[in-house]
Structure 1
Amino acid sequence: LEPPLLFLLEEYKNYLDAANMSMRVRRHSDPARRGELSVCDSTSEWVTAAEKKTAVDMSGATVTVLEKVPVPKGQLKQYFYETKCNPKGYTKEGCRGIDKRHWNSQCRTTQSYVRALTMDNKKRV
């Protein structure tokens, strides 16, 4: 499963921008060099509408996510970038960076609305 071409082109542009920076600027802009870690570990992946059959629209109704989007020269697959809490990734005390004496830390997957081509139960797209 690969991301859409548009995202691949953006990654290549970012790579070219990074190649033009001096070594000092690159060293200070790389978070891995500073030892930074996310507060809660997560996993991210591209999923298609074939894996996401239904969704909830902004009015709370359950809709069917269309696997392919019609375009003038055929059809395109819909891709969604999904980030979830990594159940194996966090420390045994919970998420990092929280004082365990005062706070109960845990990773919670949240949801957000994204644009997608869908069909309701009356077959309206």
Structure 2
Amino acid sequence: PRVLFSPSPSPPEHPPLLLMLENGLMEDDSDGDVEGHGDRAADRTTPNTRRGEKSVCESESTWVNNKTTAIDSHGERVTIIPQIQTMTGALKQYFYETRCRRPDGQSGSSRTRGAGARSAAAGVAGASCLGVDKKQWRSECREKQSYVRALSKDAKNKMGWRWIRIDSSCVCVLLSRTNQG
């Protein structure tokens, strides 16, 4: 559900339907119909707070319409085909990506890692995770990737469907302080 071909020149306003259901942003009634699609806008920049839950790493999800390259399942860089021509018109290829929220004042394209990240607010890209005991653990919020099928071309200009990696979540990585030398 993270890849979409659409005739629209701009990406959809909402996340993919299945992701909205999984994240509790929509109600799924007993007859299989989904209620409320489009009825309320989801704020994808705030952590999920249902039932008192709080994420240890904040994430942001968005439709990406300007992806030009990616890494395929063989570790090769491929070029993303931005749109295809069909008999009924052009279809644009969109990707729904989830990344760690950037510290305030940083653009979404920079990747914060290392010593400079330690001074950043907790729970964002490259910083320590929220709610982790800093005496026992070193932690860091990092993006993880998933494979999706996308139309692309390789270095030999061969076009086809390939498995490519896209950012799909923001997770907390823990390292024990007791095992350090």
Does TM-score exceed 0.5, indicating one fold? yes
Q: 1:42 to 1:10 in 2, by over 3 A?
A: closer
CA distance in structure 2 between the partners assigned to 1:9 and 1:109 by the alignment: 21
Partner of 1:110: 144
**Amino acid in the other structure paired with 1:2:** P
User: Are 1:42 and 2:59 counterparts?
Assistant: yes
TM-score (norm 2): 0.50
User: Are 1:91 and 2:122 counterparts?
Assistant: yes
Partner of 1:77: 92
Which ranges in structure 2 are unaligned for 5 or more consecutive residues?
A: 1-9, 21-25, 36-47, 105-120, 160-181
**Amino acid in the other structure paired with 1:47:** V
Partner of 2:11: 2
**Amino acid in the other structure paired with 2:68:** K
Residue 15 of structure 2 contacts residue 96 of structure 2 at CA under 8 Å; is this kept in 1? no
Residues 64-121 of structure 1 show CA distances to partners (whole Å, capped at 9, x for unaligned) of 1000134442221111111111122752882123211111111011222111000112
CA RMSD of aligned residues (A): 3.4
Partner of 1:67: 82
Which ranges in structure 1 are unaligned for 5 or more consecutive residues?
A: 20-30
Specify the SS of the correspondent of 1:34. Answer: helix
CA distance in structure 2 between the partners assigned to 1:43 and 1:6 by the alignment: 11
Higher relative contact order (CA 8 A, sep 6+): 1
Paired-residue identity, %: 45
Q: 1:33 to 1:62 in 2, by over 3 A?
A: closer
Between 1-10 and 59-68, the greater mean CA deviation after superposition = 1-10
How many residues in Structure 1 have an aligned counterpart in Structure 2? 112
Partner of 2:72: 57
Q: Identify the structure with the greater helix proportion.
A: 1
**Amino acid in the other structure paired with 2:154:** D
User: Are 1:122 and 2:156 counterparts?
Assistant: yes
CA distance in structure 2 between the partners assigned to 1:104 and 1:67 by the alignment: 40
**Amino acid in the other structure paired with 1:40:** C
Q: 1:109 to 1:7 in 2, by over 3 A?
A: closer
Indicate the structure (1 or 2) with the bigger Cα radius of gyration. 1
**Amino acid in the other structure paired with 1:121:** A
Q: Identify the structure with the greater strand proportion.
A: 2
